Amino acid sequence: MASVTYEHVTKNFGEVVAVNDMDIHIEDKEFIVLVGPSGCGKTTALRLLAGLEEMTEGKILIDDRVVNDIAPKDRDIAMVFQSYALYPHMSVYDNMAFGLKLRKTPKQEIKRRVQDAAEILGIGDLLDRKPRQLSGGQRQRVAVGRAIVREPKVFLFDEPLSNLDAKLRVQTRAEICKLHQRLQTTFIYVTHDQVEAMTMATRIAVIKDGLIQQVDSPQKLYDRPTNIFVAGFIGSPAMNFFTARLDRADGALIVDTGAFQIRVPESKVKTYKSHIGKQVIFGLRPDDIHDPLFTPPDIHAASVEVEVDVVELLGNEILMNVKIGDFIATGRIDPRTKLHVGDRAQLVLNMDNMHLFETEGEQQTIH
């Protein structure tokens, strides 16, 4: 088992900065997910750890050992790629055993490790098959099994589910979570899918343009994003944003978007009063927009007039796009609603969960 530390790691490709001063400590047995849009540097960060790329600056430690100049094969890590990269002419058993044979591991030890990994992954009856005889999900399990037999200190996963269909992705991510619990090993997992990140990780590192924006537990990222990028990236559908001005009216603090004015709860006035008279960005998640007939009790509610633009019925909920002046917002609405496309109606905003962001620079959350 092992911890992993990136100390001010930078990777440049020519003039392009792929990883920018990455500084993070990953605990032993932790399941951390690096998440961000395509091209943000998350896969490069993984490849630096694996030794597949050479860093420009900084150092990487596995436990207390600096691995900058250590060959990939000697770093005691195993990597699962987006592509399964199985040898088509070999059986499942031989694919899983191949790396061990190269290391001249004794035959009985190879057999034990392969059979143990196959049992963990539920592919014990597939060991004699060739990759072409397997489904996509089965091939991915073989690729994971090939990593397991190495018994490494650290597992690296580079978007391993992106080639699977939606139902199989859900099933396989649950299997990877159970695998982590069973092996009690450090997992570092890269994805652009924030739903995967939220459901799998003990901690998430959100990356933009090579820079880590925030590292925290999934729930804290959702509830207390550090800036507007994290707020918009974490959560599906994404948070709604409205350009606004913070003002006083009738003795209360209000958010004035031009299209609507809403009162800030008294409990938040102290937090925001330093920004009175300033331009801000008002953020509210779809979960906090409600049909008035199905509003949760005991919330600080504010009512706004909207025009229903799009209704997406999902069975257990409705995703509703509404026009509020020049703004388009998405609400996650109770499926019992009677609202239809084209209706003008009042919707209720839960102001207890409002967010305000600065308009300048990194657009930090106003605390």
Return the CATH number at 321.
2.40.50.140
In a domain, 364, yes or no: no
- Which of these three, 191, 218, 233, is where a domain ends? 233
Looking at residue 186, its pLDDT comes to: 96
Give the orientation angle of helix 92-102 with respect to helix 107-121, to 10 degrees. 130
Contact predicate 46/191, CB 8 Å: no
Q: Where are the strands (E) in the chain, listed by range?
A: 4-13, 16-26, 31-35, 57-62, 65-66, 77-80, 154-158, 186-191, 203-208, 211-216, 240-249, 252-256, 261-263, 279-284, 289-290, 301-313, 318-324, 327-333, 344-350, 355-358
Count other Cβ atoms within 10 Å, centred on residue 17: 16
- In 3D space, the residue among 269, 266, 341, 286 whose CA is nearest the CA of residue 310 turns out to be 341
How far lies 269's CA from each of 45, 226, 252, 350, in Å? 41, 19, 9, 16
Average pLDDT over residues 45-58: 96
Which three-class secondary structure state does DSSP give residue 119? Answer: helix
Q: Which domain holds residue 310?
A: 240-358
In a domain, 363, yes or no: no
Average pLDDT over residues 186-207: 95
Joined tokens for residue 183: 């092996």
In a domain, 306, yes or no: yes
- Which of these three, 233, 256, 272, is where a domain ends? 233
| Share of residues in the chain with pLDDT > 70 (%) | 100
Verify that 351 and 291 share a domain, yes or no: yes
Looking at residue 251, its pLDDT comes to: 83
Verify that 76 and 199 share a domain, yes or no: yes
In a domain, 24, yes or no: yes
In a domain, 366, yes or no: no
Verify that 246 and 283 share a domain, yes or no: yes
- Which of these three, 194, 214, 233, is where a domain ends? 233
**Side-by-side strand order, sheet with 154-158:** 77-80, 154-158, 186-191, 31-35, 203-208, 211-216
User: How does the average pLDDT of the chain come out, rounded?
Assistant: 93
pLDDT exceeds 90 at position 336 = yes
Looking at residue 250, its pLDDT comes to: 84
- In 3D space, the residue among 367, 359, 362 whose CA is nearest the CA of residue 242 turns out to be 359
Lowest mean pLDDT, pick from 25-39, 100-114, 154-168, 304-318? 154-168
Give the model confidence (pLDDT) of 246-272 as tens digits.
999 888 999 999 999 999 999 999 999
Q: pTM for this structure?
A: 0.91
Confidence of residue 187 (pLDDT cuts 50, 70, 90): very high
Verify that 206 and 335 share a domain, yes or no: no
Contact predicate 113/146, CB 8 Å: no
Verify that 244 and 212 share a domain, yes or no: no
Confidence of residue 319 (pLDDT cuts 50, 70, 90): very high
In a domain, 21, yes or no: yes
Joined tokens for residue 114: 């392969």
In a domain, 341, yes or no: yes
Verify that 313 and 226 share a domain, yes or no: no
Give the model confidence (pLDDT) of 125-148 as tens digits.
999 999 999 988 888 889 889 998
Verify that 309 and 179 share a domain, yes or no: no
What whole-number distance in Å separates Cα of residue 346 and Cα of residue 85?
Answer: 54
Verify that 137 and 251 share a domain, yes or no: no
Looking at residue 169, its pLDDT comes to: 84
Residue where the block lists tokens 């209704």: 311
Q: Which CATH number fits the domain that encloses residue 84? A: 3.40.50.300
Confidence of residue 182 (pLDDT cuts 50, 70, 90): confident
Verify that 145 and 200 share a domain, yes or no: yes
Verify that 209 and 314 share a domain, yes or no: no
Verify that 30 and 135 share a domain, yes or no: yes
Give the model confidence (pLDDT) of 212-245 as tens digits.
999 999 999 999 999 999 999 999 999 999 999 9
Domains held by the chain: number: 2
Instruction: For Cα atoms 309, 311, 312, give the angle at the middle one, nearest 5 degrees.
Output: 145
Looking at residue 308, its pLDDT comes to: 97
- In 3D space, the residue among 187, 205, 225 whose CA is nearest the CA of residue 78 turns out to be 187
Verify that 15 and 127 share a domain, yes or no: yes
Joined tokens for residue 295: 């509003």
In a domain, 180, yes or no: yes
Looking at residue 1, its pLDDT comes to: 66
